[in-house]
Amino acid sequence: MNLAIETKKLTKTYKTSSGMQSVVKDLDLEVEKGEIFGFLGPNGAGKTTTIKILLGIIDGTSGEANVLGRPAGDIESHKRLSYLPEKPYYYEHMTGLEITQFYASLFGIKDKDLCVNLLNRVNLGNDYNRPISQYSKGMQQRVGLAQSLLNDPELLFLDEPTGGLDPIAHIEIRDLILKFRDEGRTVFISSHELSDVERICDRVAIINKGEMVHQGRLDDLLSGGRIEVTADGVAENLVDKFKGDDMTLSLRAGRLIADLPDTMSPNEMIDAIRTGGGSVVSVIPRRKRLEDLFLESVSGDNLAKGRVTGKMTDDDKKADVKEEEVSS
Amino acid sequence: MNVILSIAKTTIGEAIRRRVLLIILLIGVLFLVIAPGLSVLSARSSYTVLVSFTLGVIQLTSAVIAIVLTVYLLPNEVERRTIYTILSKPVYRWQFLLGKYLGAVGALGLMMALMTGILVLVFKIMQAEAGMDVVMTLARAPMMYFVQMSLLAAVAMFFSTFASPIVNFFLTGGVYLVGTLFSPVFQDIAGNNSVNAMVKTAATVIHTLVPNFAQFNVQNTIINSGSQLRSEQMYYLQLVAYAFAYVAVFLIGGMMIFDRKEV
* B85-118 confidence digits (pLDDT tens): 999 999 999 999 999 999 999 999 999 999 999 9
Tens digit of each residue's pLDDT (9 = 90 or more) over A124-159: 888 999 999 899 888 898 899 899 999 999 999 999
Is there a contact between A79 and B90 if contact means CB atoms under 8 Å apart? yes
Contact assignment for B87 to A57 by CB distance below 8 Å:
yes
Closest CB to A107 among B14, B80, B90: B90
Is the pLDDT at A324 greater than 80? The verdict is no
Ranges of each domain in chain B: 2-260
Q: Using the beta-carbon criterion (under 8 Å), do A106 and B91 form an inter-chain contact?
A: yes
Q: Which of B2, B14, B89 faces A78 most closely, judged by CB atoms? A: B89
Cα separation values, B127 from A207, A232, B46, Å: 74, 102, 9
Q: Which residue of B has its CA nearest to A85?
A: B85
The answer to whether the CB of A302 falls within 8 A of the CB of A316 is: yes
With CA atoms as reference, the chain B residue closest to A153 would be B89
Q: Which residues touch B34 (CB under 8 Å, ≥6 apart)?
A: none
Q: Select the residue of B10, B17, B92 nearest A102 (Cβ to Cβ).
A: B10
Question: Could you give the domains of chain A?
Answer: 3-221 (3.40.50.300), 226-285 (3.30.70), 290-327 (no CATH)
Least confident of A58-72, A244-258, B61-75: A244-258
pLDDT greater than 60 at residue A309? no
Is the pLDDT at A323 greater than 50, yes or no? no
Interface test with A, best of B89, B258, B262 (most A CBs within 10 A): B89
Element (H, E) at B47: helix B46-71
Phi-psi sector, B216: left (phi>0), alpha (psi -120 to 50), beta: alpha
Name the percent of chain B lying above pLDDT 70: 93
Burial of A310 (0-12, 13-18, 19+ CB in 10 A): exposed
* pLDDT at B132 > cutoff 90: no
| Whether residue B218 has pLDDT greater than 70 | yes
Lowest mean pLDDT among A93-102, B134-143, B234-243: B134-143
Query: pLDDT band at A292, cuts 50/70/90?
Result: confident
CA distances (Å), A195 to each of A159, A185, A200, A201, A289, in order? Answer: 16, 22, 9, 10, 9
Chain A residues within 8 A of B19 when measuring between CB atoms: none
The residue-averaged pLDDT of A165-172 equals 83
**What is the average pLDDT value for chain A, to the nearest integer?**
85
pLDDT at A307: 34
Pick from B145, B181, B138: which is nearest to B58 by CA? B145
Task: Please tell me if residue A57 touches chain B, with a CB cutoff of 8 Å.
Answer: yes
CA–CA min distance B257, chain A (Å):
13
Chain A neighbors of B100, CB-CB under 8 A: none
